[in-house]
Structure 1
Amino acid sequence: MGEPVRQSDRPAARAAAAWCVAAAFGTYFCVYAVRKPFTAGAFADDPFWGAGYKSALVVAQVLGYTASKFLGIKVVSEVSPARRAGLILALVGVAELALFLFAVTPAPWNVAWLFVNGLPLGMIFGLVLGVLEGRRQSEALAAGLCASFVVADGAAKSAGAYLLKAGVSEAWMPAAAGLLFAPALLLFVGMLARVPPPAQSDVALRSERAPMTAADRRAFGRRYAAGLLLLGGAYLLVTVLRSVRADFAPEVWAGLGVTGQPGVFTYSEMAVAACVLVLSGAAVLIRDNRRAFTYAMGTAAAGAVLLAAALVGLRAGVLSPLAFMVLHGVGLYLPYIAVHTTVFERLIAMTRDRGTVGYLMTLVDAFGYLGYVAVLLARSAGGGGPDFLAFFVPLSWVIAAATLALLLPAWYYFLSHPAARPAAGEA
């Protein structure tokens, strides 16, 4: 099962892990600067053939992002490690060019450029995650990566809001935010390119992660179809709620009575990240793959319960807006992050099957964002309403209950699957 790390090797191992986390966190944090700052704008002055202009922008980008996820099922699973860094930079370059064209194209025709902006970005997370998986410290490394999109979501909105306060127009603000982070992106992607492959001891503990062919993907899907449908359904639901919360955070905060405070986006998400990532990253301390998988599924189920508790506290009036958003975020992100950091990582290690976390994450993300598009279109067709909180709270209730109902049978399915039985020598 691999040799233990010698005492003399531990400082080097810690330094290598810190390098990996910094490279992955920094890369994806900077990617958010070409994706999310536009959501800090109101975009209330421009019509879109009778529909809300900001909603049209969000839908256009999400459509592009969703299409990118479906393209990424093939691209992410088949790309070789040597090509990842160059591909990340090329994809971000296309997304930033689309923001420049968005700024110079009159409204409402510039909505199309938000679709183009989203089209390359959906593949990047799987490419970054592919660098980190299959290692003894993968949960901790992936938790560091996930910290980027928890914190960066709020930071990108804050950056957009500050640019608007500084006098940058709403049309130019998204492109300006992306350019601000370009030097840092180059630095972090360069660091990512220098991360070494997993050691042989990592492979012995977690299994080899090689590029997958179309036949490999079909075989994996057939073997675990029922469990993947249950788990994918739960992930779809939390992706929908997480995306609504992220893209319409100003509207949610306004419904809670908080306006004119750009920093609140960052403060709340930093508190959420601190709680969730400690709980998710703790799975790295569990050597046995079955036990770690059980721990991850348990924290995911607990998240659905916490989400319901936040809604109860809001209705009872015992939670402040900040406390509600933090507790809501912790409950929402526990299942979301558990899938990213541990569930798929330990599923592959437990079954020793040919697969990669990057592929599985891109697969469930594709359907998750497709669900989000459906929710956005349904709300637009229904006319929406000025009180966004009246939409957000009932949606949260439905997703909390349905997520728990899907996670429990998925948990049982995978642990009882013949391929997941403990191997010889495992506890």
Structure 2
Amino acid sequence: MKIKFTKQEWSTALYAALVAFCLYTCLFSFRKAFNVAAYSGHSLFGLDYKIVLVITQVMGYMASKFYGIRFIAEMKRIGRGQLILILTGISWFSWLAFALLPAPYNFWCLFFNGFPLGMLWGIVFSYVEGRRMTDLISAALAVSFIFGSGLSKSVAAFTMSTWQVSEYWMPFITGAIFAGPLLLFVYLVEKLPPPTEKDVAHRTMRLPMKKEDRRKLLREYGTGLFFLIMVYILVTILREVRDSFMADMWRESGDVFNSSVFAQTETIISLVMLLIIASMVMVRNNKRAFNITHLIMAVGFLLSLLMTLAYKQQIINTWWWMLSVGMGLYLVYIPFNSILFERFIASFRISGNVGFLIYLADAFGYLGSVAVLLSKTVLQIELSWLQFYTNLVMITGVSGLLATLISIRFFNKKPVQKQADLS
């Protein structure tokens, strides 16, 4: 039976999608803008200063994700807008401290930038989960990862090249540019109506999860979740290295580089991801959608692997490689953060919320990122970031594809409760 939505559902979903996309794009500017700068001329603990900055921020993000496993799982649905502004304000003033304190001894500011920002995904996603149109809304929210990262870097590069803002003040100034729009979109997301009775019947009621609820879920589905978390660790590592050192890799490649390249590649990827993920709203059967999501992820790993082989053979240039590997990476990362656990909960009729599962995966994903960044620097692996990343893509492509196939096999052996037959 063809799935049907009312005009009211379409208008609510499009409103939510636009607001969620714009909101998280604004939030991204408080985290990723600094990556565009080189921060050369300093070292700390025997390490390059920029690497110390990246690792420190990721450690803050990682600590936030571990804390968020419980906090987001048990979070009530009140006061969320105010919480978004408080957490973003802390991260923004961390950039002010970063600008005022002398380098390289201001590195610790990035921990206090990363920690509050790590809580925001779970808070924002709580506005959109548990709806028949969640796939469409979360697609827009998730592609803001890509678009927001590219836009914030382009704006940051513009402030330095056109306004002559120093690389230390650049993150704070970039945040200031997005502060006004952030206030507007927090206000607008608070106006989003709750899920309807049809939404609840099809996707289940989304509830806070106590400790026993979380333990019960892990006992029943722990093996499959283990392999999914392995997948997420791999793509989080790739994404963190790509986002943090994309500019450095462009410089090392020898190809022509300008600041607009970030917005170019990430906008193209964003549009493709939006079309793919949003189209999943038309798949009514939750279990079928869950399986299709696994297949999309497998295609992403395969694409990254094949295009990296082509790049190593000089069949494609750096621009096409960055675009295609980014596409492959986000074919895994975006479904994971938008529809995978949404459809998992709906398929198996679980009483809980997506936030717990996302933060469980995120915590170990960022732990893996910290481990890889430290291994590259502390162990002094004699590879450029470009060489290191290409090798990482190859390893991840094979390992991730295998883990995805094991996961889908496990979950297909689990019984599925009959879902509501709504059209």
Q: TM-score range by the shorter chain?
A: over 0.9
Tell which deviates more after alignment, 256-265 or 339-348: 256-265
Tell which deviates more after alignment, 180-189 or 68-77: 68-77
Name the residue aligned to 1:157. Answer: 153
CA distance in 2, matches of 1:195, 1:181: 22
1:254-333 mapped onto 2 (5 Å cutoff): 254-258=251-255, 260-333=257-330
CA distance in 1, matches of 2:202, 2:323: 36
Candidates 72, 91, 98, aligned match of 2:94: 98
User: CA offsets, 1:167-194, max 9 Å, x none?
Assistant: 1111111111111100000000111111
Name the residue aligned to 2:117. Answer: 121
CA distance in 2, matches of 1:87, 1:55: 30
Offset at 1:260? 4.4
Matched, 1:87 2:88: no
Candidates 396, 399, 402, aligned match of 1:402: 399
Candidates 377, 385, 389, aligned match of 1:388: 385
Count of residue correspondences: 421
Distance 1:81 1:43, change over 3 A: same
CA distance in 1, matches of 2:290, 2:336: 10
For the residue of structure 1 that corresponds to 2:315, the secondary structure is coil
Offset at 1:386? 6.5
The answer (yes or no) to whether the contact 1:304–1:400 under 8 Å persists in 2 is yes
Question: Given residue 58 of structure 1, which amino acid in structure 2 is its aligned partner?
Answer: V
Name the residue aligned to 1:111. Answer: 107
Return structure 1 stretches of 4+ with deviation > 6 angstroms.
none
User: CA offsets, 1:343-363, max 9 Å, x none?
Assistant: 111110011111211221111
The answer (yes or no) to whether the contact 1:290–1:422 under 8 Å persists in 2 is no
Offset at 1:47? 2.3
Name the residue aligned to 1:24. Answer: 20
Name the residue aligned to 1:182. Answer: 179
1:8-19 mapped onto 2 (5 Å cutoff): 9-10=6-7, 12-19=8-15
User: CA offsets, 1:206-262, max 9 Å, x none?
Assistant: 111011112211211121110110111011101110111111110121233235400
1:207-286 mapped onto 2 (5 Å cutoff): 207-258=204-255, 260-286=257-283
The answer (yes or no) to whether the contact 1:36–1:157 under 8 Å persists in 2 is yes
Question: Given residue 98 of structure 2, which amino acid in structure 1 is its aligned partner?
Answer: F
Question: Given residue 177 of structure 1, which amino acid in structure 2 is its aligned partner?
Answer: T
User: CA offsets, 1:313-340, max 9 Å, x none?
Assistant: 2122221221111111111111111112
Identity among equivalent positions (%) equals: 37
CA distance in 1, matches of 2:47, 2:203: 50
Offset at 1:51? 1.2
Offset at 1:201? 0.2
The answer (yes or no) to whether the contact 2:251–2:257 under 8 Å persists in 1 is no
TM-score, normalisation: structure 1: 0.95
CA distance in 1, matches of 2:221, 2:50: 40
CA RMSD of aligned residues (A): 1.8
The answer (yes or no) to whether the contact 1:272–1:330 under 8 Å persists in 2 is yes
The answer (yes or no) to whether the contact 2:202–2:420 under 8 Å persists in 1 is no
Question: Given residue 292 of structure 1, which amino acid in structure 2 is its aligned partner?
Answer: A
Tell which deviates more after alignment, 319-328 or 138-147: 319-328
Candidates 31, 34, 37, aligned match of 1:38: 34
Name the residue aligned to 2:192. Answer: 195
